[in-house]
């Protein structure tokens, strides 16, 4: 006896296999059978004729952390089939922050992230995740955000992290990853993030590499490009990954077209990195030889 049979739909299972007709039998939270279940008993049978049946989608770029906290049903995501959302994208979010910094940054980010209650505990990644797990309709995965960490380590100051604040920021990244964050993010234009430089990001990324997690980069270009290796966010992201050994994913890219390509990088920026990096490697080899 199944709890639910979803009958007659076209199953697209996410493995890359072409869609096929079939029924899905569910007991509790587990899919127990896929196939012809027309004779099976079920407490509830859902007719999916003419519809597609698939696992939930992962939305990798939402900025919905504030919206989820005021509207946990989140129908705009769920009704599109999204069952997991990534939070902490582009280097900015709510944790880890002191109560004072959360209040200020929540207001600063309101236009992008929404307006969650201001008295929430955001002092750690664990506390942050506790506000979502089994309390909102989607699953969430969190990335430790660079601007947030440097706000907590140094405040709103226009200088790269060095010395004690850098040590503190790296500890926050490491602890956040230990507490279940899936990676680390930087952003191109969300302060205080762009006040950092490539040395700072590469150092923080060593904690990412040690945890075996991923560095997701929204490249900067117009925000203090002079502080970026190669004077661009794409070359900066690649260099931080090279120095630290962290796995790199670009959150924003544009391969063609006018306008925004200046902020997010064209393929020529990748090519420029490769030539810069080759020259650096040549120097390294010469000096070690």
Which CB atom, from 62 or from 198, has the smaller least distance to Zn ion? 62
Say how many C-beta atoms besides its own lie within 10 A of residue 178's C-beta.
Answer: 12
Q: Smallest distance from the beta carbon of 89 to Zn ion, in angstroms?
A: 5
Segment interacting with Zn ion, rule: CB under 5 A, options 46-54, 82-90, 105-113, 226-234: 82-90
Which CB atom, from 90 or from 203, has the smaller least distance to Zn ion? 90
Q: Smallest distance from the beta carbon of 20 to Zn ion, in angstroms?
A: 36
Residue 179, exposed/middle/buried by CB under 10 A (0-12, 13-18, 19+)?
middle
Which CB atom, from 109 or from 166, has the smaller least distance to Zn ion? 109
Segment interacting with Zn ion, rule: CB under 5 A, options 90-98, 138-146, 195-203, 239-247: 90-98
Name residues whose C-beta falls within 8 Å of residue 241's C-beta, 6 or more positions apart in sequence. Answer: 205, 215, 247, 248
Q: Which residue is nearest to Zn ion (CB)?
A: 90
Q: Smallest distance from the beta carbon of 190 to Zn ion, in angstroms?
A: 9
Could you tell me the two tokens for 120? 């929430």
Which CB atom, from 64 or from 235, has the smaller least distance to Zn ion? 64
Applying CB under 5 A, does 90 fall inside the site for Zn ion? yes
- Pattern 16-55, binding to Zn ion, x per CB under 5 A? ----------------------------------------
Segment interacting with Zn ion, rule: CB under 5 A, options 86-94, 122-130, 149-157, 254-262: 86-94
Applying CB under 5 A, does 85 fall inside the site for Zn ion? no
Segment interacting with Zn ion, rule: CB under 5 A, options 23-31, 52-60, 83-91, 177-185: 83-91
Which CB atom, from 91 or from 160, has the smaller least distance to Zn ion? 91
User: Mapped to the 3 state alphabet, what secondary structure does the chain carry?
Assistant: CEEEEEEEEEECCCCCCCCEEEEEEEECCEEEEEECCCCCCEEEEEECCCCEECCCEEECCCCCHHHHHHCCCCHHHHCCCEEEEEECHHHCCCCCCCHHHHHHHHHHCHHHHCCCCCCCCCCCHHHHHHCCCCCCCCEEEEEEEHHHHHHHHHCCCCCCCCHHHHHHHHHHHHHHHHCCCCEEEECCCCCCHHHCCHHHHHHHHHHHHHHCCEEEECCCCCCCHHHCHHHCHHHHHHHHHHHHCCEEEECCCCCCCCCCHHHHCCHHHHHHHHHHHHHHHHHHHHHHC
Applying CB under 5 A, does 65 fall inside the site for Zn ion? no
Q: Smallest distance from the beta carbon of 187 to Zn ion, in angstroms?
A: 8
Could you tell me the two tokens for 100? 């004072």
Q: Which of residues 228-257 bind Zn ion (CB under 5 A)?
A: none
Which CB atom, from 22 or from 77, has the smaller least distance to Zn ion? 77
Which CB atom, from 85 or from 203, has the smaller least distance to Zn ion? 85
Segment interacting with Zn ion, rule: CB under 5 A, options 26-34, 87-95, 107-115, 275-283: 87-95
Binding site for Zn ion (CB under 5 A): 90
């Amino acid at each position: 006896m199944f709890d639910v049979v979803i009958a007659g739909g076209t199953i697209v299972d996410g493995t890359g296999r072409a869609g096929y007709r079939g029924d899905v039998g569910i007991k509790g939270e587990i899919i127990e059978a896929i196939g012809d279940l027309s004779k099976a008993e079920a407490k509830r049978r859902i007719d999916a004729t003419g519809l597609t049946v698939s696992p939930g989608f992962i939305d990798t770029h939402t900025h919905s952390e504030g919206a989820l906290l005021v509207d946990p049903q989140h129908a705009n995501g769920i009704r599109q089939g999204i069952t997991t959302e990534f939070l902490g994208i582009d280097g900015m979010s709510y944790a880890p922050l002191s109560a004072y910094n959360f209040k200020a940054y929540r207001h600063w980010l309101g236009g992008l992230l929404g307006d969650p209650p201001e008295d929430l505990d955001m002092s750690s990644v664990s506390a942050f995740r506790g506000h979502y797990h089994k309390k909102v309709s989607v699953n969430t995965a969190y990335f430790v955000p660079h601007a947030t960490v440097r706000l907590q380590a140094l405040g709103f100051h226009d200088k790269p992290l060095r010395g004690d604040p850098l040590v503190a920021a790296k500890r926050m990244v490491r602890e956040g990853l230990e507490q279940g964050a899936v990676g680390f993010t930087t952003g191109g234009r969300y302060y205080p993030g762009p006040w950092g430089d490539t040395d700072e990001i590469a150092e923080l990324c060593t904690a990412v590499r040690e945890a075996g997690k991923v560095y997701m980069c929204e490249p900067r270009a117009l925000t203090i490009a002079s502080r970026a290796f190669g004077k661009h966010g794409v070359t900066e992201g690649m260099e931080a990954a090279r120095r630290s050994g962290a796995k790199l994913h670009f959150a924003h890219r544009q391969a063609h077209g006018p306008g925004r390509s200046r902020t997010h990088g064209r393929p020529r920026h990748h090519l420029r990195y490769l030539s810069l990096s080759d020259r650096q490697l040549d120097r390294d080899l010469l000096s070690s030889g």
